[in-house]
Amino acid sequence: MKKIAAALFSGVLFFSQFPIAQAQAPVSFAFTGSGYGHGVGMSQIGAKARAVAGESATAILTYYYKDVVVAPVVDTHTIRVNIGTALKSFSVSTTQLNSKIDVFIGDIPPTATPVPALTIPQQTMASFVIQGKSVAIGAVNGKILTVRWGAPNTILTFFGPGNPVRYKYGQIQVKVVGGALEVTNSLSIHDEYLWGISEVSSAWPAAVLEAQAIAARSYALAKIGTPRSACDCNVYSHIGDQNFVGFSKEAEPKIGKLWKAAVRRTNIDTSTSLVILNQGKPIQAYYSSSSGGATQTTFDAWGQATPYTQSVADPAGLDPKLNPRFAQWRASATQEIVAKAFLLADIVTLEIISRNSAGAVTYIKGTSSNGSTKLLRGDTFRSRAKIPSPYFNLAQSFS
């Protein structure tokens, strides 16, 4: 029984049974559902609807989170945000007049001002590579390098996988971890980090922008501590934590200034800002785009209870006028993706085993052609199968 309980807690349970005679694995599986994201904590579509109805940021947050207060907290901490993971190389440059890039050997504290080991002038592409167990740029190398960029208003452009990303604040650290480069941007939670969070449209109502800023700040403060060794960071820059896009958010034409202004309204003074607290501590304020009609708790979604998440009605997620793309959706996943989700050779049938009170799938069973079966948590399956939410139903599979 202890082994079974442990397997359930991890979200995966294994069974064996006799092979299914002449079972055929379909080419793909089809799903219908509602909502987008895990559905835990604040629903952004729901928050928008409440802001339109006249609710304040505090009212929105205390609706979605249980036993919390929104209060000023010191937030002068520096957060380390991973902006490039498992890279073999990357490049940076600046273009502003009289700008430069300084490279220092070591993990230099933001307040320290040592002499740089290398200075790169404007419009010069500087490339960082792995050299043994060190990071190298030209003749300079070290286990960790720190990168700073010159005068006020200088923008550093980061060239890695995907589109170039611009950064204005803080400094960058580069470290070899597990044979690859981990790149982090260290900057202030109080304002600089928040200005780069891109989770909702800057054109949304003021109250929902403020609620999003407070939630994002709370999440960040809850993650402060010793950097994770795998990424040399406190948080990732993608939706595994929070979507951080650097200077691009505040530089959005016309509406970027609205997001920055909303963040500033949640600052009390130069060292304190509004934060969601439970028992005096910042909460890890989970949020997602929309639910399937009611939010989930962390226990519902992941099997780990937190005192401040709760299931509350969230009808905006089901309103096609408010949530046109995800009030009702259809999606499919290939045989390869679904089999990989369950870590089985193939999947012949899927079966929803249970749902929680919010209507989300808590467990789904996959059966292989050799008779092996596994259980996955609904949100784990949602993430691995790349379908919009755990609020789903099974539709016809395609042979």
Of the candidates 171, 118, 177, which has an alpha carbon nearest to the alpha carbon of residue 146? 171
* Alpha-carbon distances of 145 from 116, 135, 309, rounded to whole Å: 10, 7, 40
The first and second tokens of residue 51, run together, are: 């802001």
| In the block, residue with structure tokens 């300079």 | 140
Q: Is beta strand 42-43 parallel, antiparallel or unpaired with respect to 235-236? A: unpaired
pTM above 0.85, yes or no: yes
CB atoms within 10 A of CB 19: 12
Number of H helices, E strands in the chain: 9, 25
How does pLDDT run along the chain (399 residues), one tens digit per residue? 344 334 333 444 333 344 444 568 999 999 999 999 999 999 999 999 999 999 999 999 999 999 999 999 999 999 999 999 999 999 999 988 889 999 999 999 988 989 999 999 999 999 999 998 999 999 999 999 999 997 778 999 999 999 999 999 999 999 999 999 999 999 999 999 999 999 999 999 999 999 999 999 999 999 999 999 999 999 999 989 999 999 999 999 999 999 999 999 999 999 999 999 999 999 999 999 999 999 999 999 999 999 999 999 999 999 999 999 999 999 999 999 999 999 999 999 999 999 999 999 999 999 999 999 999 999 999 999 999 999 999 997 655
Asked whether the beta carbons of 121 and 100 are under 8 A apart, the reply is yes
* Domain ranges for the chain: 2-37+322-394, 70-285
CB atoms within 10 A of CB 283: 25
